[in-house]
Structure 1
Amino acid sequence: MITHIVLFKLKDRSPESVARTAQVLRNLEGKIEGLLSIDVGTDVLRSERSFDIALTTTFHDLDGLQAYQVHPEHQKVIAHMNEAKDVSYSVDYES
């Protein structure tokens, strides 16, 4: 099992912008074969050091993660995130 986690800090950190962008991520659910689960959470503390959105996805293996990375639906989300994000960090691990 591969878990892919991405943290996003947005340029526009307003509640409306965060909710809109979180929904863009949630809309991936059911659209990409091999994407076993997707969880999108928004930060509740809203401190200066907080990230706005956390994305956690799971895949059977690295091939599933790699297929996800290049899938057209994911590419649309990447385009949106590149416009919306200030910074992002990710980690991918096997369990």
Structure 2
Amino acid sequence: MTIRSRREVVTFKHPFRIRGIDRLLPASAYEVVTDEETIEGLSFAAFRRVASMIKVPAEGSRGLAMEVVSIGPVDLSDAQRTDASTSDD
């Protein structure tokens, strides 16, 4: 079984909350890492997600230290949707 990691940068324009993190996170760009494993026995290459993590500022670090927190893909999508629908007023 082969594991691969995909990295993407997700930008939030407003402070946000995401399930699994018990504090308000500041608006910023965040690196999201998704680990996927191969699905064996198929006649074509296919992968399934096994874990998603987001790098966030460590609590009380003033942005100097980072921590990696496991998140669900639906929770990330919900946070992005909420951010997109929040007005800039």
- Common topology (TM > 0.5): no
Q: Which has the higher helix share?
A: 1
| TM bracket (short chain) | 0.3 to 0.5
Q: Which has the higher contact order (CA 8 A, sep 6+)?
A: 1
Give the alignment's TM-score, normalised by structure 1.
Answer: 0.36
Q: Which has the larger radius of gyration?
A: 2
